Amino acid sequence: MSDGPASPSRVLVTGGAGYIGSHVLHALTDAGIPAVTIDNLSTGRRAAVPAAVPLIEGDVGSASLLEQVMREHRVDAVMHFAGSIVVPESVERPLAYYRNNTVNSLTLMDCCVRLGIDRMVFSSTAAVYGDAERVPIDEDSPTRPINPYGTSKLMTEQMLRDAGAAHGLRSVILRYFNVAGADPAGRTGQATPAATHLIKVACQALLGRRPPLAIFGTDYPTPDGTCIRDYIHVSDLADAHVLALLHLRRGGESLVLNCGYGRGASVREVLRTLEAVSGEQVPARLAERRPGDPPQLVAGADRIRQRLGWVPRHDTLEEIVRSALAWERSLEPGPQRAG
């Protein structure tokens, strides 16, 4: 049933039942910004979506569904999260990634252009940079992805630029570094089965929900020999999306922005922080390096602060780890719920 002609415009959030999308929905709701979400619930979970947000179960690749939702809810902007994100899987199933990430994004953009929607915030990734030649990695660094996941995102970025030039579709492309943590209020968090993110895996190992953590390589050219990554709290990332939306609604120009803090933490630092927070030892084992793991990935993160006025509120490793552990403890033991 339609909200009616007097209802406010809504933001369409694709993939809003997933990890990052659900945090953004909560941030939008907290800011009083009406939203609607489409999610096929293949990896997302209904419980992650705020009660005030209509959830339409369906496929973002369906142009008819997109157009129906956009018209019915008077959508004036889109935040696009729906997609596949597992790098090794993208190598094994590249065509599935190009279909789900790139082709579906094309369908979404086409619907926006046809309905006159000229604002999109796009969930991209630092994987578009590939093996970066210099660290920190700023937005002007060469984009040379080394896997189909990164390539599928970079192709979508290029489509957004072309759609902007030809059709006036303005966009803010946000390139995430290592997203971690959970909503401080415990409303949502990462509940993906067989997750591969270090902090999530370390919390699961600590709680005995998976085998000891593998530390892949201890001979990297870093202070303690383990890889360094730029971890960003998911709630700070969600705030960046809200600011990006407000920028576009004010008539702001298209932007490409890194999402990170501009500093990194090593694998061993993450484990020490988790042990300090929990008072317990993380079961871990040493393993050989994984192919393709660069020693350091750290964002050049000045531009997002300058252009959006973004001020992180949760930017300590301790807070990231503490929120992730609290969320993990809130989940029932055994097989993880989807999300």
pLDDT band at 333 (very low <50, low <70, confident <90, very high): low
> 108 with 149, same domain?
yes
Do both 47 and 159 map to the same domain?
yes
Q: pLDDT-based confidence at 330, cuts 50/70/90?
A: very high
Residue 1, domain member (yes or no): no
CATH number for the domain harbouring residue 310? 3.90.25.10
Answer yes or no: do 38 and 149 share one domain.
Answer: yes
Q: Would you say residue 188 lies in a domain? A: no
In this structure, are 172 and 125 located in the same domain? yes
CATH number at residue 106: 3.40.50.720
81-110: average pLDDT:
94
Number of neighbouring beta carbons within 10 Å of residue 29: 17
pLDDT at residue number 193:
66
The whole-number pLDDT of residue 312 equals 98
* Phi, psi of 13, rounded to the nearest 5 degrees: -110, 115
Look at residue 104 in the predicted model and tell me its pLDDT.
97
Q: Are residues 89 and 117 in the same domain?
A: yes
Q: Which of 172, 196, 144, 325 is nearest to 258 (CA)?
A: 172
pLDDT of residue 3: 46
The pLDDT of 48-53, averaged and rounded, is 97
pLDDT (0 to 100) of residue 317: 98
Domain shared by 208 and 160, yes or no: no
Flag whether pLDDT at 185 surpasses 80. yes
What does the alpha-carbon distance between residue 299 and residue 127 come to, in Å, rounded to a whole number? 12
For residue 264, what are its two tokens?
A: 């990194």
pLDDT tens digits, one per residue of 307-329:
999 999 999 999 999 999 999 99
**281 shares its domain with 167:** no
Percentage, residues of the chain above pLDDT 90:
88
Q: What is the mean pLDDT of the chain?
A: 94
**Could you give the CA distance from residue 281 to residue 267 in angstroms, rounded to a whole number?**
14
pTM of this structure: 0.94
Q: How far are the Cα atoms of 142, 158, 228, 308, 311 from residue 303, in angstroms, in the given order?
A: 17, 20, 22, 8, 12
The secondary structure of 72-129 as a DSSP string is HTTEEEEEE--S---HHHHHH-HHHHIIIIIIHHHHHHHHHHHHT--EEEEEEEGGGG
Regarding whether 238 and 106 lie in a shared domain, the answer is: yes
Q: Which residues contact 86 (CB under 8 A, 6 or more apart)?
A: 149, 196
Asked if 144 and 244 sit in the same domain, the reply is yes
Whether residue 173 lies inside any domain: the answer is yes
CA geometry: angle at 48 spanning 33 and 330, to 5°? 130
Give the span between the Cα atoms of 20 and 177, in whole angstroms.
13
208: alpha, beta or left? (left if phi > 0; alpha if psi -120 to 50): left
Based on the fold, state whether residues 127 and 204 are members of the same structural domain: no
> Residue 160 corresponds to which tokens in the numbers above?
């957004």
Q: What is the pLDDT of residue 9?
A: 92
Residue 189 lies in a domain: no
Alpha-carbon gap, residue 136 to 124, rounded angstroms: 18
For residue 178, give the 3-state DSSP assignment: strand
Q: Are 244 and 174 in contact (CB under 8 A)?
A: yes
- Helix axis angle for 104-115 and 63-72, nearest 10°, is 40
d(CA 59, CA 78): 15
Catalytic residue flag (residue 149): yes
pLDDT category, 4, cuts 50, 70, 90?
A: very low
Q: For residue 335, tell me if it sits in a domain.
A: no
Q: State the pLDDT at residue 86.
A: 84
Distances (CA, A) of 12 to 53, 73, 264, 291: 10, 8, 33, 38
Residue 29 is assigned to a structural domain of this protein: yes
Q: Are residues 80 and 221 in the same domain?
A: no
- Which residue in 98, 149, 231, 261 is the catalytic one? 149
Domain of 210, in residue numbers: 198-230+262-330
Residues 136, 148 within the same domain? yes
Q: Answer whether residue 5 is part of any domain.
A: no
- Single out the residue of 234, 203, 184 nearest to residue 81, CA to CA: 234
pLDDT tens by residue, 51-60: 999 999 999 9
pLDDT value at 335 more than 60:
no
Assess if residue 339 is contained within a domain.
no
Tally of domains within the chain: 2
Helix (H, G, I), strand (E, B) or coil at 297: strand
CA 147 vs CA 94, 272, 330: distances in Å: 9, 31, 34
